[in-house]
């Protein structure tokens, strides 16, 4: 029943959300055990569709990651991390929205230790996959190769395509997600995100994941 899909991801250049390495990914097989959803029986056709959907999802992730990276870098250059924080705060959600509309798939970022209290918070199945990523990393898989893809039937009868791609923590990320933050960075974080859980990361930790969701036919 278990099938591994080999996904080759080209370079993901990311920022307020993303790693920056070339990766060959192994999508984990369908494993969403929450009772309300079940795996869709996989005919040759749906496997075929799934491969195409994964390709689209990878492009959507690249678009979001690349745009965020560009915005973050230019904001850091022009006004340092506090300025860049404002950019992440206001632009990251906007960029995710516009990439989603453009690619006709909902693209977002989630984390087990989220900063954005609404958009950054994983729902049940995303939480399961993030925990799976942690387990796979602990057993030796490289953080930048962790991905997941599946098609499930939701409780309201829709088929839903789900894709996740892990986001490793790079050294640049530590400015705003590490353990030793500059006082002005901490102050800005307290102001914008009083319930921030996204600090204390080390290089190589899983910072979170990109999520791509697309509703398929009823």
Indicate which single residue of 54, 57, 92, 206 sits in contact with ligand HEC (rule: CB under 6 A): 92
Q: Which is nearer to ligand HEC, 54 or 144 (CB)?
A: 144
Q: With binding defined as CB under 6 A, does residue 173 bind ligand HEC?
A: yes
Q: Which helix (H) or strand (E) holds 42?
A: none
Q: Which helix (H) or strand (E) holds 28?
A: strand 23-28
Binding mask 58-77 for ligand HEC (x = CB under 6 A): --------------x-----
**Dmax (CA) of the chain:** 56
Q: How far is the CB of 173 from ligand HEC (least distance, A)?
A: 3
Contact set for ligand HEC, span 5-24 (CB under 6 A): 14-18
3-state secondary structure of 174: helix
Q: With binding defined as CB under 6 A, does residue 169 bind ligand HEC?
A: yes
Helices and strands in the chain: count of H runs, count of E runs: 4, 7
Indicate which single residue of 28, 67, 100, 114 sits in contact with ligand HEC (rule: CB under 6 A): 114
Q: Which residues pair with 151 in a beta bridge?
A: 161
Sign, Cα dihedral of 157, 56, 70, 201 = positive
Q: Which helix (H) or strand (E) holds 83?
A: helix 44-103
Query: Which one of 1-9, 37-45, 98-106, 111-119 is the stretch in contact with ligand HEC (CB under 6 A)?
Result: 111-119
Q: Evaluate whether 129 touches 148 at the Cβ level (below 8 Å).
A: yes
Q: Which residues of this chain interact with ligand HEC, rule CB under 6 A? A: 14-18, 72, 81, 84-85, 88-89, 92-93, 109, 111, 114-116, 119-120, 167, 169-170, 172-173, 175-177, 198, 207-208
């Amino acid at each position: 029943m278990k099938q591994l899909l080999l996904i080759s991801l080209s370079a993901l250049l990311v920022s307020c959300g993303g790693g920056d390495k070339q990766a060959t990914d192994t999508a984990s097989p369908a494993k969403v055990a929450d009772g309300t959803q079940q795996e869709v029986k996989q005919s040759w056709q749906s496997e075929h569709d799934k491969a195409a959907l994964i390709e689209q999802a990878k492009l959507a992730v690249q678009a979001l990651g690349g745009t965020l990276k560009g915005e973050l870098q230019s904001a850091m250059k022009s006004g340092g991390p506090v300025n860049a924080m404002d950019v992440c705060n206001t632009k990251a959600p906007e960029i995710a929205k516009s990439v989603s509309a453009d690619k006709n798939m909902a693209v977002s970022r989630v984390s087990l230790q989220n900063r954005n209290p609404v958009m950054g918070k994983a729902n049940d199945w995303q939480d399961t996959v993030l925990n799976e990523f942690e387990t796979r990393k602990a057993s030796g898989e490289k953080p930048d190769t962790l991905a997941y893809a599946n098609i499930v039937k939701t409780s309201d009868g829709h088929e839903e395509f789900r894709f996740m791609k892990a986001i490793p923590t790079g050294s640049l990320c530590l400015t705003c997600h590490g353990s030793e933050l500059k006082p002005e960075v901490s102050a800005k974080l307290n102001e914008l995100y009083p319930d921030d859980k996204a600090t204390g990361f080390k290089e190589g930790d899983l910072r979170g994941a990109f999520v791509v969701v697309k509703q398929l036919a009823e």
